[in-house]
């Protein structure tokens, strides 16, 4: 009986601090999480949420996936690219402009107007190790669940190239052929993201530093083109490539 009591006591000391630590980190990160989409002043609905993003730098720059951005805006309806700030029904619309984008790495940087928002720090450009804990916060299925940030936790399961070799050349798509010329490494996660999570900040559970950007579509299309139905695997673009994009456009993180 004594041995059982000691075992339980030790486990409490080990597990509880980790949980409390993540809770503190999430509380800070949530302030910098935003929605990305389209604002139509004359439309019904007025707001269309396409994905997630997060604030960096001076509080006026927002990072997301390039594929999350609307490709066309209806000028007749006065549509605008928008960043949604806040949660639930209290969320507000901020006008946004693209100031940098990389189709290769599926990253985009927006600049918003108005009062600066709390910004997230970026980790340095080195890769995390496989097995390290991460979390990401965004708006999974935001169009249905609304603008309420949700957090998922997992580990770096693998560091893998964006294109997986195939046995038959007929299985290669045009996109895969382009990526084969210059593939890059991404994180494969032991955590599940959902539509709407694209563009979410993936961060170190201890420090809250951004280590990657969740990618639900772009990478999956290249790696899993040979299967008829996409897997539930989640990928993330390492922050290394975001640093490169920021440097290219002289934006300070």
Q: What does the pLDDT look like over 4-24, one tens digit per residue?
A: 433 334 344 334 445 668 999
**What confidence tier does 1 reach under pLDDT thresholds 50, 70, 90?**
very low
Asked if 39 and 100 touch (Cβ cutoff 8 Å), the reply is: no
Residue 146 pLDDT exceeds 50:
yes
Rounded Cα gap, residues 38 and 83, in angstroms? 8
Is residue 100 pLDDT above 60, yes or no?
A: yes
Tokens 């990618």 -> residue:
215
**Above 60 in pLDDT, residue 189?**
yes
What's the pTM?
A: 0.84
Identify the pLDDT of residue 229. 62
Count CB atoms within 10 A of the CB of residue 2.
Answer: 6
Q: Which residue reads 């960043």 in tokens?
A: 83
All residues at 6 or more sequence positions from 29 whose CB lies less than 8 Å from its CB, including other chains: 54, 120, 135, 137, 151, 201, 203, 208
Q: What are residue 138's DSSP bridge partners?
A: 150
CATH class of residue range 133-248: mainly beta
> Which residues touch 9 (CB under 8 Å, ≥6 apart)?
none
Q: What share of the chain has pLDDT > 70, as a percent?
A: 79
At residue 2, the pLDDT reads 41
Structure confidence at residue 38 (pLDDT): 94
Residue pLDDT, tens place only, 163-182: 755 555 555 555 655 655 67
What φ, ψ does residue 58 adopt, rounded to 5°? Answer: -85, 10
User: Both tokens of residue 156?
Assistant: 């770096």
**Residues 113/114/117/121 CA torsion (nearest 10 deg):** 40
Give the model confidence (pLDDT) of 46-76 as tens digits: 888 999 999 999 999 999 999 999 989 988 8
For the chain, the average pLDDT equals: 85
More confident site: 17 or 29: 29
Indicate the range of 25-29, 101-105, 134-138, 215-219 predicted with least confidence. 215-219
């Amino acid at each position: 009986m004594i041995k059982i009591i000691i075992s339980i006591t030790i486990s409490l000391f080990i597990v509880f601090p980790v949980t409390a630590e993540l809770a503190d980190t999430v509380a800070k990160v949530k302030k910098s999480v935003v929605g990305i989409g389209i604002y139509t002043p004359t439309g019904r609905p007025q707001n269309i949420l396409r994905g997630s993003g997060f604030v960096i730098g001076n509080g006026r720059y927002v990072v997301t996936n390039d594929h999350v951005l609307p490709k066309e805006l209806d000028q007749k309806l006065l549509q605008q690219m928008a960043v949604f700030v806040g949660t639930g029904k209290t969320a507000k619309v901020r006008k946004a402009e693209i100031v940098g984008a990389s189709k290769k790495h599926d990253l985009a940087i927006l600049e918003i107007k108005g009062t600066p928002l709390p910004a997230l720090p970026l980790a340095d450009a080195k890769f995390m190790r496989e097995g390290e804990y991460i979390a990401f916060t965004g708006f999974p299925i935001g169009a249905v669940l609304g603008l309420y940030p949700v957090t998922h936790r997992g580990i770096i399961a693998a560091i893998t190239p964006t294109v997986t070799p195939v046995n038959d050349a007929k299985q290669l798509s045009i996109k895969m052929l382009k990526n084969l010329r210059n593939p890059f490494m991404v994180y494969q996660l032991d955590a599940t993201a959902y539509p709407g999570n694209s563009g979410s900040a993936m961060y170190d559970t201890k420090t809250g530093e951004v280590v990657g950007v969740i990618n639900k579509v772009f990478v999956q299309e290249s790696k899993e083109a040979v299967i008829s139905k996409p897997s539930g695997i989640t990928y993330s673009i390492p922050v290394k490539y975001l640093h490169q994009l920021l440097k290219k456009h002289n934006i300070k993180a």
